[in-house]
Amino acid sequence: MKTQIIVAGFGGQGVLTLGVILANAAVLEDKNATWLPSYGPEMRGGTANCHVIISEEDIGSAVISQPDILIAFNHPSLEKFLPRLKKNGLLIINSSLIKEEIIRKDIKLVSLPLVELAAKIQNQKTINIIAMGALLELTELVKTSSVVDSIKQNFKDKQDIIELNKKALELGREHVKKN
Amino acid sequence: MTNKKVLKKGNHVIGAAAIEAGCEFYAGYPITPQNELTEYMAKHMVLNKRPFVQAESEVSAINMVFGASAAGARAMTSSSSPGISLKQEGISYIAGANLPCVIVNMVRGGPGLGNIAGAQSDYFQATRGGGHGDYRLIVLGPNSVQELYDYTMKSFDLADKYRIPVMILGDGYLGQMMESLTLHKYAKPKNLPKKTWALTGCKGRNPNVIKTLYLTPEDALEKHNLELNVKYEKIKKELQLFETINVQNAELVIVAYGTVSRVVKNVIESSDKKIGLFRPISLWPFPENALRNLKCKKFLVVEMSLGQMVEDVKLSLFGTDASVDLIARPGGMIPTEEEIHKKIKLMLK
């Protein structure tokens, strides 16, 4: 099974970090993973994105032409990548910033009001991990425990930040369960 | 060191492999998209109590490597395309002086400043020597983070074995991407020659001389050139690295290296035709014998440059009745699976 995920948003929304934490969680489960970031001038103001592929098999190209999952944190990212999302693919959007109606009806749409959700734990930097929580609830890509371990590795010994991100994961999960 | 998989960035594992393989000297100058390598070396060379120099320019860095290598050290420098152009004079001197070193080029789009996207447009420069004079480098083209790690280690051994600069020809995408890989210990080959030629202070022995100036053509420079050529011919015989997938009875064989070879792997998996992949790993020497020995009549070269490696493919197949087609995407573009499928359809009509 190969799953291809594109994560996209403004630079600063934690797009690249979300990708790294996800890819690393898969590797902690002894799966193969690739993470390919956008690293151009487009990082400033425009969209930043990363392509993440998770597979038990060897991975060919790290470039994704048609993702199975798209996580879009802002409207420009949605416009850029939605046409490429596979039929029956999963679209997770940040509905705090994306107010437009999603025209495609052949996909599964999950809306997360990330700004409002992050306000519950008084930290807007956690929107990426809240989205990760939703992804964990919606798919069986990786185990929650692997993501927690991956978060621990990413934030080294900063215990308070690790605890905050655990709360963020739960927020995302709970929101999907309720809606 | 465990055998568990880890997720690492391409540029970082080159540094990790170099340090593990006993790199004793690194000098570099920052340039995107290879900066994380210089960053890694800045931290880890120092942690390992080995010299790291951020030089005042690329020219300076390569000449420091020249000096370190002449003194017998395992030495490395790295850069990306415009910076590698600046290093060419030094590389020519190192090649002319029969010295080993490792040079990493994480290629970006050109010419000139071009852009910072990954590209393969330095193929000619790398495989034809690059600087002035009749010389060659060993050029390796890895296609994964694992191979960046493995071939960086190997490049130090090859450099020492043949006393030649070895270039790792990667690209910006390989350098920037993270991928799962298995780290392992470096095992130094037992048969590497001792560096008896090194300038280590001649107390108690005759002085060693390392030079590139041979003024008289008739009894000096031509002889030197021919001696270098003996080495190049030996390397050609002994080192032709490649990978093949599905080439037996293939209707069409695609030739691709580095990043784009992985796009081709996807194409082979999703194609309903019998398509094979021939992936050169040593770009110089080009694995011409293995390519020529494939029984296929139709070849398609796919490269992230304007038709450079295709010349080596045609040279390898010279005199056969095989046809060679080309998909060339310059400027930092990666050929897509769709356009390769389309071309295959046309070619197998």
Provide the token pair at A37: 């970031």
> Any chain A CB within 8 A of the CB of B115?
yes
Task: Return residues 8-47 of A near B (CB < 8 Å).
Answer: 20, 23-24, 26-27, 30-37, 39-40
Task: Return residues 326-345 of B near A (CB < 8 Å).
Answer: 334, 336-338
d(CA B117, nearest CA chain A) in Å: 7
- Give yes or no: residues B123 and B28 share one domain: yes
Count of beta carbons in the 10 Å neighbourhood of residue A114:
29
Q: What is the pLDDT of residue B3?
A: 75
Which is it for strands B165-171 and B101-107: parallel, antiparallel or unpaired? parallel
- Give yes or no: residues B160 and B257 share one domain: no
The answer to whether A63 and B334 have CB atoms below 8 angstroms apart is yes
Domains of chain A: 2-178 (3.40.920.10)
The answer to whether B83 and B33 have CB atoms below 8 angstroms apart is no
Last residue of a domain, one of B134, B153, B182: B182
Phi, psi of A72, rounded to the nearest 5 degrees: -115, 120
* Cβ neighbours of B259 in A, within 8 Å: 61-62
Asked whether residue B260 is assigned to any structural domain, the reply reads: yes
Place of tokens 């291809």: A4
Last residue of a domain, one of B182, B216, B233: B182
Which is it for strands B275-280 and A90-94: parallel, antiparallel or unpaired? unpaired
Asked whether residue B227 is assigned to any structural domain, the reply reads: no
Which is it for strands B242-245 and B275-280: parallel, antiparallel or unpaired? antiparallel
- Give yes or no: residues B160 and B305 share one domain: no
**Domain containing residue B340: CATH number:** 3.40.50.920
Asked whether residue B310 is assigned to any structural domain, the reply reads: yes
Secondary structure (DSSP) of A109-152? EEEE-HHHHHHHTT-GGGHHHHHHHHHHHH--SS-HHHHHHHHH
- Give yes or no: residues B165 and B249 share one domain: no
- Give yes or no: residues B23 and B154 share one domain: yes
Provide the token pair at B165: 């600069």
- Give yes or no: residues B178 and B89 share one domain: yes
Residue pLDDT, tens place only, A119-177: 999 999 999 999 999 999 999 999 999 999 999 999 987 999 999 999 999 999 999 99
Q: What is the spatial distance between Cα B29 and Cα B80, in angstroms, rounded to a whole number?
A: 10
Q: How do the residues of chain B divide into helix, strand and coil, expressed in percent and rounded to 5? A: 40, 20, 40
Residue of B nearest to A29 (CA): B5
Q: What is the pLDDT of residue B108?
A: 97
B33 upstream amide cis, omega within 30 of 0: yes
Asked whether residue B219 is assigned to any structural domain, the reply reads: no
- Give yes or no: residues B127 and B259 share one domain: no
Q: Cα B9 vs. chain centroid, distance in angstroms?
A: 18
- Give yes or no: residues B159 and B262 share one domain: no
What 3 state SS string does B55-84 have?
Answer: CCCHHHHHHHHHHHHHCCCCEEEEECHHHH
**Number of residues that make up chain B:** 349
d(CA B266, nearest CA chain A) in Å: 6
Asked whether residue B76 is assigned to any structural domain, the reply reads: yes
- Give yes or no: residues B261 and B171 share one domain: no
> Any chain A CB within 8 A of the CB of B173?
yes
Q: What is the spatial distance between Cα B162 and Cα A63, in angstroms, rounded to a whole number?
A: 37
Asked whether residue B49 is assigned to any structural domain, the reply reads: yes
- Give yes or no: residues B271 and B166 share one domain: no
Please report the number of interchain residue pairs, chain A to chain B, with beta-carbon separation below 8 angstroms. 67
Burial B235-269 (b: 16+ CB within 10 A, else e): bbeebbbbbbbbbeebebbbbbbbbbbbbbbbbbe
* Cβ neighbours of A23 in B, within 8 Å: 7, 178, 180
* Cβ neighbours of B115 in A, within 8 Å: 40
Q: What is the spatial distance between Cα B38 and Cα B36, in angstroms, rounded to a whole number?
A: 6
Task: Of B141, B159, B152, B55, give the one whose Cα is nearest residue B97.
Answer: B159
End-to-end Cα distance, chain A? 28
Report H helices in chain B.
Answer: 10-20, 35-47, 58-70, 81-96, 123-127, 145-162, 172-176, 222-238, 258-270, 288-293, 309-316, 337-347
Asked whether residue B80 is assigned to any structural domain, the reply reads: yes
Number of folded domains that form chain B: 2
Complex ipTM value: 0.95
**Domain containing residue B105: CATH number:** 3.40.50.970
d(CA A117, nearest CA chain B) in Å: 30
Residue pLDDT, tens place only, A27-64: 999 999 999 998 766 555 667 999 999 999 999 999 99
The answer to whether B167 and B283 have CB atoms below 8 angstroms apart is no
Task: Return residues 123-152 of B near A (CB < 8 Å).
Answer: none
The answer to whether A51 and A64 have CB atoms below 8 angstroms apart is yes
The answer to whether B126 and B107 have CB atoms below 8 angstroms apart is no
Residue of A nearest to B108 (CA): A40
Residue of B nearest to A154 (CA): B7
Asked whether residue B175 is assigned to any structural domain, the reply reads: yes
Residue pLDDT, tens place only, A54-66: 999 999 999 999 9
SS3 A160: helix
Residue of A nearest to B173 (CA): A36
The residue-averaged pLDDT of A67-96 equals: 97
Residue A108, CA atoms < 13 Å, CB-side half-sphere = 9
Last residue of a domain, one of B151, B182, B213: B182
- Give yes or no: residues B178 and B248 share one domain: no
Q: Cα B100 vs. chain centroid, distance in angstroms?
A: 14
- Give yes or no: residues B142 and B281 share one domain: no
Range of the domain at B297: 243-347
Per-residue model confidence as pLDDT tens for chain B (349 residues):
557 999 999 999 999 999 999 999 999 999 999 999 999 999 999 999 999 999 999 999 999 999 999 999 999 999 999 999 999 999 999 999 999 999 999 999 999 999 999 999 999 999 999 999 999 999 999 999 999 999 999 999 999 999 999 999 999 999 999 999 999 999 999 999 999 999 999 999 999 999 999 999 888 999 999 999 999 999 999 999 999 999 999 999 999 999 999 999 999 999 999 999 999 999 999 999 999 999 899 999 999 999 999 999 999 999 999 999 999 999 999 999 999 999 999 999 8
Q: What is the spatial distance between Cα B85 and Cα A156, in angstroms, rounded to a whole number?
A: 39
